Structure 1
C-alpha cells in the first residue's frame, strides 16, 4: 500500500479518541485542534495527515517525533514503520510525556516509546541519525532549531533523510542527501510554538 493510502489506514487503525482527555473524546472526529493540557493540543487531523504524507515514512524506518504530546502522532508513525522500525517520541512536559507513554502502551506497539525531552536539547542527537523527523510545533521563534534537527537526519543516498516542521506558519520539508539540504514549502498551518525549556513562554 503506497503513501497516502498507508496514512489513511494508519488513521483508521489508530483512533484519535484513544489519545484525548476523557472529556474530549466525543470530539475526536472534529477536524480541529483539541486542548490536552499544559497549553498543548492534539493537532488538527488534516494537518497531521498532510505532515505524514510529506514525511513519507516506510516500514523499517527510524523516526523521531518531537513534541509527542498525547502520543497520537507517535502511534501513527509506529503504524507506518511497522515492527521492523523504531519510533521515539520526545515531549518537554513531563506530565504529558507520562500520559502519552501510557496512551501509546495501550496500542501494543513495543517498537515505539515516549520519554521526557532533555531541557535545552532539541530532538535526540545522541541516538541520531534518524531516517525521518516530525515536529508538531512551530519553529518560527527558534530558527537555529531547524539546523540542529537537520543535523540529526541520515543521508542514505537511496533514502534521503526527511524533516517536516512548521516554520513561521509555513509547513517546511527539509531533505538531506549526501550532505546537502533541500528545503521546500507546503502551505500555511497553525501550531503551538516549539520550546526547548518547560518554562519558556508558549
Structure 2
C-alpha cells in the first residue's frame, strides 16, 4: 500500500478540505487516525479512497468526507461527553476521541462490537467506551450527553436520544421515510426547546431497533 501518512494527507486535501471542511481540529484528527486499520486487510489499499467501504454484516465504514463533515457540524470540544449510535468499525468514534471527547458508542451487531472493542484496546483508545445494545434506546445510564451522533438512517428521530441530549447540546442523525436515502438532521436543544435543521441529502445503512426500522 502507498505510504498511509501521505495517503491521509491527500485524502484531507483533495476530499475533505476541497469540499469545504475547515475546522483545524477535525482536519488534524482525519490526518492522524489510521483509517486503513479500520477496514479488512484485503481492502486496506482502498482505505483512503473517496467512498464508503464494506466492513461485513451488511454495514459500511463511511466515506471520509462524511465522517469529517459530521464531525465538524457536531462542534465537539475537548472534554465533552459524546454518544455515538452505530459503532461499526469504530472509525468515527476514533475521530471523536482524537478531538478530545469522552466517547460512548453503542453497536447492535455482536461481531462488529467485539472487533471494534479489540481495535480500541490495541490502539490504546481508553476514552472510548462500548456497549452492545439497541442504539435507538441510547445509553440512559450515562446521560445526559453534550453531543450525539447517529451513523445509520431511520424513519424518525428516536425520542430516547432527544431525551438524553443535554440542554445546549447538538445531535446529528440521518432521517428519511425510505431506506438508504435520508436528510442529515441537526437537532439542537436550547432551554428545553428542540430546534431541527436539515443539512442535506445523505445515504446511510438502516438504523435498526425499537425506534428505527
TM-score under structure 2 length normalisation: 0.82
Q: Cα–Cα, structure 1 residues 120 and 102, in superposed 2: closer, same or farther, change >3 Å? A: closer
**Mapping for residues 56-135 of structure 1, pairs under 5 Å:** 56-81=75-100, 85-117=101-133, 119=134, 122-135=137-150
Aligned with 2:193 (options 180, 183, 200): 180
Say if 2:171 is the partner of 1:163: yes
Q: Cα–Cα, structure 1 residues 51 and 144, in superposed 2: closer, same or farther, change >3 Å? A: closer
SS in 2 for 1:151: helix
Deviation per CA, 1:69-113: give whole Å up to 9, x if none: 0111111111112xxx42111100011000011112222221112
Q: Which runs of 5+ in 2 are unaligned?
A: 1-21, 177-181
**C-alpha displacement of 1:148:** 2.0
| Distance in 2 separating the partners of 1:120 and 1:174 | 17
SS in 1 for 2:60: strand
| Distance in 2 separating the partners of 1:49 and 1:178 | 28
SS in 2 for 1:69: coil
> Would the aligned equivalents of 2:81 and 2:147 in 1 still touch at CA under 8 Å?
yes
TM-score under structure 1 length normalisation: 0.87
Larger RCO (alpha carbons 8 Å, 6+ apart): 1
Residue equivalent to 1:22? 41
**C-alpha displacement of 1:134:** 0.6
| Distance in 1 separating the partners of 2:111 and 2:135 | 18
**C-alpha displacement of 1:15:** 1.6
Question: Aligned pairs, how many?
Answer: 186
Residue equivalent to 2:209? 196
Residue equivalent to 1:39? 58
**C-alpha displacement of 1:121:** 5.2
Q: Which runs of 5+ in 1 are unaligned?
A: none
Say if 2:190 is the partner of 1:152: no
| Distance in 2 separating the partners of 1:120 and 1:22 | 28
Q: Cα–Cα, structure 1 residues 90 and 120, in superposed 2: closer, same or farther, change >3 Å? A: closer
Structure (1/2) with the larger helix percentage:
2
| Distance in 2 separating the partners of 1:189 and 1:182 | 20
